[in-house]
Chains A and B, each alone.
Chain A
Amino acid sequence: MKALALGVGNLLWADEGFGVRCVEAFAERFAIPEQLTVADGGTQGLYLVDLIREHNPVVIFDAVDFGDAPGSMRVVADDEIPAFVAGKKVSLHQAGLQDVIACAKLLGDCAENMLLIGVQPVELEDYGGSLRPEVKAQIPAALDVARNYLTGFGILLEEARGKSGASIITPGLELAAYEAERPDSDSACRQGDARVLARARAQ
C-alpha cells in the first residue's frame, strides 16, 4: 500500500492554507518516490475518506487550534488525532477530519499509522490572503518531521535539487502567483466597494 502526504484546509483563508501549502512545498522540495502519494485535499471533507482508506502510513498537514502560541507547531499521532480535530470542520458539508477517520474505521480499513502535523494559526480572517510569516516559516520544519516519519516506514525522500516536483497545486493558485497577483487592498476594495466609497467621499 502506498503512503500519503495530505494537506487539508482552504488556501483562500490566510493561515487556513497551511496544510495545502505544505504539500505544495513538499512536492517542490522532494523527488516523490513511487510508493508515495502527495495530495492537496482542500476542503473536501468526507471525500477524503477514500485517501485514508487506500494509503498507509498517512501524514496530514493542517492548521489546528491546539490552544498553543500562534505559529507554533505540534505533532500528534494515531489515536490522539481525532481529539485534536474534533471541533474542526474541514467543510464539505461540515464533515471534519474526526468524522472522516470515524467513517474509515466503520468501513473497516482506516490507515493504521497516521501523523498529524499541525500549526497554530495566526490569522484566519483575511479572505484571499496568504500565510502569515510565522506560519509560513514552519513549513520547512513540518516537511522535516514528515520526512523523518516516512523514513521510519522505509520511504526515503531525497531533495529534488532544482528539479521541480510534481505539480500539486491548481495552476494559478501556486503560492508565488497567489501572493504576487493579489490586488492591493484599495483596488480590490477590501475596505468596501469603490463606487460606494466614491459616493461617500462625494457627500
Chain B
Amino acid sequence: MAIQTPNGFTLDNSGKRVVVDPITRIEGHLRIEVNVDDDNIIRNAVSTGTMWRGLEVILKGRDPRDAWAFTQRICGVCTGTHALTSVRAVEDALNIDIPENANTIRNLMQLTLQVHDHIVHFYHLHALDWVDVVSGLSADPKATSELAQSISNWPKSSPGYFKDLQTRLKKFVESGQLGLFRNAYWGHPAYKLPPEANLMATAHYLEALDFQKEIKKIHTIFGGKNPHPNWLVGGVPCPINVSDTGAVGAINIERLAHVKRIIDQCRQFSEQVYLPDLLAIASFYKDWTYGGGISGQNVMSYGDIPEHANDYSADNLLLPRGAILNGNLAEIHEVDQRNPDEIQEFVPHSWYSYADESIGLHPWDGVTEPNFELGPNAKGTKTHLEELDEDAKYSWIKSPRWKGNPMEVGPLARYIIGYAQGNPEFKEPVDKVLTDLDLPVTALFSTLGRTAARGLECVWAADKMDHFYNKLITNIRNGDVATANTQQWDPKTWPSDVKGVGFTEAPRGALGHWIHIKDTRIENYQAVVPTTWNAGPRDNEGNIGAYEASLMDTPMADPEQPLEILRTIHSFDPCLACSTHVMSPDGDELADIKVR
C-alpha cells in the first residue's frame, strides 16, 4: 500500500523486501531494509541502528573535565571531534575562555582530522563502491600511466609503477588474502570504470593508506600521543617553548617545521591525487543521478573552525553555519542549539520510552530509557530479526528534528549552505567541478554530489591548515605563547548548577554535546551525533530522514547484490559509534542479504 510522507516521498512496501545486515565498511552496526517493485526500483526504505550506545548513562556522576576522554572512546573514528565538542560544552557551561593559540591549535587538530577522515573515507570505505579492484588486474599499465598523467602531475605515474603494483595485487588476490577487498561485488554491472581507471584508483588506495600515517603525526605533536591525543578543558595540553630542544610534549621550532611539512603534503595529496581521482571517477558515473534524498530540501550545519577564540557566531566560523528549508537557497536560517523549540529528538519509532511520545525533547531535557519492542508486523524474534515493522518502533537511533524537520548534515550540507551564501571559498570550487563535468547545479543533490563535496572540503581543509599554521607562527613571534587558561580548573570556582552546549562540524556532519553540571559532577549528558540526524527513523508525523529518503527510487541491477544501497549509504560516511564486540573465530563478516 502506498503512503505519502509529509516531506514528499511516496512509500510502497508491497514489493519484494531486501534486507542488508550489516552494511559493511562503516563504523558501528547499521541495517537497511528496502522494498523493490517489479523493475527492482526501491519504493520503500527502512534504516535502523541495531545497537544501543548509551553514552549518557556512563557519564553521569563523572568529573566534567574527564568527559572528553570518555567520549573519545565511544568511537574509533571521530575520536578528536568528540573530545573537542566535549571540552567546548564544559567551557560553555562554566564560561571559560581559551587563549587564541589554543583555538588555533584546536582548529589545526580538527582540520587534520577532516583531511585524514575524508581521505580514508573516500579511498578505503567508499571508492570500492565505484572502483572494481579485480578489473584493474587486466589493465594495460602503459595506458594506465597515460590516463594518470592526463589528469594530474602527481609523480607516481610511470608504466613501471603500475606494472609493479599490478603484479603485487595479482599475487595478493591469488593468495586468497583479499583483506579489505573482500565483501565486495566484483564484476557487478553497476561498475562502469575501464580497467585502467580501476588500476589507477587501486594504486591510490594503497598510496592513501601509506600517506595517512603522516597526517596523524600532527595529532601526536599537539596532542602528545596518537591514537587518543590529549585534550584539555580551558585550552590545549601542549606548552609552547620555541627555543626548547628536548622537553617532552612542548611545541618547539623543530616540531613546528614538521607540522608545516605535513600540511604541504596534505595539500599536494588532496589537490594532485584525491580531487583528480574524484573527477575522473565521476565522469564515468554522470548518469548515476540517484541518492539525493532530502539534500535538495533540508540541510543544516552548526558551522565550525572559529577564526578567533571564544566566538562561535556565524560570522566568525569558517565552515558555514545555518539551515535551509524546502530547497529555498535564498533564505538561510540561524540555528540556536539552546532554544528548546529548535533541536528536538523524537522516539515514536525508536526503542526508547518518553512520557509523551507525541512530542520531542531538547537534548538538555533528554531522556534515554530503552524500550526494545517489535511491532505487530515484524517477522522473526528479538534476537533473530527477519523483517522490521517500520510502523512501530524499529531503531536504536532517535529521530532528531530541527523545528520539526528532518535535516541532512555533512559535507554536502556545508557546501550547499556555503554555496547559497555566495561564499567564494565554497561556490567557486563547486562551479568549477560542475563546469568540468558539464553538469547542472542540481546534480549536487545526489550520492555523487555528497562524495564530491567531501573531496572539495578536503582540499579546503588542507588550505585552512596552512592558514592556521601561519597564524600560530605569527602569534608566537609576537610573544604570545599562552595555550591554556586554568583559572577555573578548580571545581571550587564553579557555580553549583549550570548547563552548556558544545558543537563542531565532524567530518560526517553537525555534532553537538549538551551537558548539565550539578555540584561539580555531570548530571546529564546528551550527544546528538551526525549519523543520528542522517540515519534516524521516521518521526511522529511520518517524515522519513536522510538515509531512507536517499535510497528512494534507485534502480537495483540485482537485489541479491545491493551495491547501489552501499554506494548511497557510504556516501554519508556513516558512523554509528557503538564500538566493538567479540565474534567467534569463524564469525561471518559478510553482510547477510535476504530477499523475500
Contact = CB atoms under 8 A, between A and B. Distances in A.
B180 A99 contact: yes
B583 A12 contact: no
Contacts of B26: 93-94
Nearest to B54: A127
Nearest to B213: A50
A65 B76 contact: no
Sorting the interface of chain B by its residue count into under 10, 10 to 19, 20 to 34 or 35 or more gives 35 or more
A86 B583 CA distance: 9
B177 interface: yes
Interface string B227-246: 11010000000000000000
Contact of B58 (A64, A106, A188): A188
A92 B76 contact: yes
Contacts of B230: 170-171
A124 B355 contact: no
A49 B209 contact: yes
B180 A170 contact: no
Given A87-B586, A199-B355, 14 more contacts: A13-B579, A16-B580, A43-B75, A43-B76, A47-B212, A65-B583, A92-B77, A98-B179, A107-B206, A124-B582, A173-B66, A173-B73, A188-B60, A196-B355
Interface in A50-76: 50, 63-67
21 contacts: A16-B579, A16-B581, A40-B228, A43-B73, A43-B579, A46-B120, A47-B212, A47-B213, A49-B209, A65-B585, A88-B587, A93-B27, A127-B54, A127-B58, A170-B230, A171-B66, A173-B69, A173-B73, A188-B58, A188-B60, A193-B369
Interface residues of A, number: 66
B118 interface: no
Interface string B178-212: 11100000000000000000000000001001101
A50 B279 CA distance: 29
B237 to A, nearest CB: 9
Q: Top 3 nearest A-B pairs by Cβ distance?
A: A87-B587, A102-B179, A183-B61
B65 A172 contact: yes
A4 B27 CA distance: 26
A183 B60 contact: yes
Q: Is the interface of A mostly helix, strand, loop or mixed?
A: loop
A9 B580 contact: yes
A87 B588 contact: yes
Q: Is the interface of B mostly helix, strand, loop or mixed?
A: loop
B17 interface: no
Contact of B62 (A45, A181, A196): A181
Interface string B568-596: 00000001000111111111110000000
Interface in A87-131: 87-96, 98-99, 101-103, 105-108, 121, 124, 127-128
Contacts of B169: 106
Contacts of B288: none
B158 interface: no
Nearest to A195: B367
A41 B227 contact: yes
Interface in B28-47: 28
A2 interface: no
B57 A93 contact: no
Interface in B42-96: 53-54, 57-58, 60-63, 65-66, 69-70, 72-77, 79
Contact of A189 (B27, B60, B69, B575): B60
Contacts of A92: 27, 76-77
A121 B69 contact: no
A94 B368 CA distance: 26
B585 A10 contact: no
A33 interface: no
A183 B368 contact: no
Contact of B27 (A11, A94, A108): A94
A192 B367 CA distance: 9
B375 interface: no
B580 A89 contact: yes
B213 to A, nearest CB: 4
A177 B65 CA distance: 13
A39 B227 CA distance: 8
Contact of A105 (B27, B73, B177, B369): B177
B168 interface: yes
B585 A91 contact: no
Contacts, number: 189
Interface centre among B66, B228, B353, by most A CB within 10 Å? Answer: B228
B370 interface: yes
B362 interface: no
Interface centre among B28, B178, B580, by most A CB within 10 Å? Answer: B580
Contact of A183 (B24, B62, B70, B583): B62
Contacts of A151: none
Contacts of B212: 47, 50
Nearest to B589: A87
A170 B72 contact: yes
A103 B514 CA distance: 39
B63 A86 contact: no
B163 interface: no
Contacts of A195: 367
Given A106-B179, A183-B61, A11 B73 contact: yes
B25 interface: yes
Given A91-B27, A199-B355, A12 B227 contact: no
Contacts of A40: 227-228
A103 B179 contact: yes
A181 B581 contact: no
A107 B53 CA distance: 35
B26 to A, nearest CB: 6
Contact of B589 (A49, A63, A67, A96): A96
A164 interface: no
B60 A187 contact: yes
Interface in B213-232: 213, 216, 227-228, 230
Nearest to A43: B76
A84 interface: yes
A190 B210 CA distance: 42
Nearest to B125: A93
B172 interface: yes
Contacts of B427: none
B180 A47 contact: no
Given A43-B75, A171-B69, A188-B58, A94 B177 contact: no
B582 A63 contact: yes
Contact of A12 (B58, B177, B368, B575): B58
B124 interface: yes
A101 to B, nearest CB: 8
Contacts of B206: 106-107
Contacts of A101: 179
A44 interface: yes
Contacts of B79: 42
Nearest to A89: B580
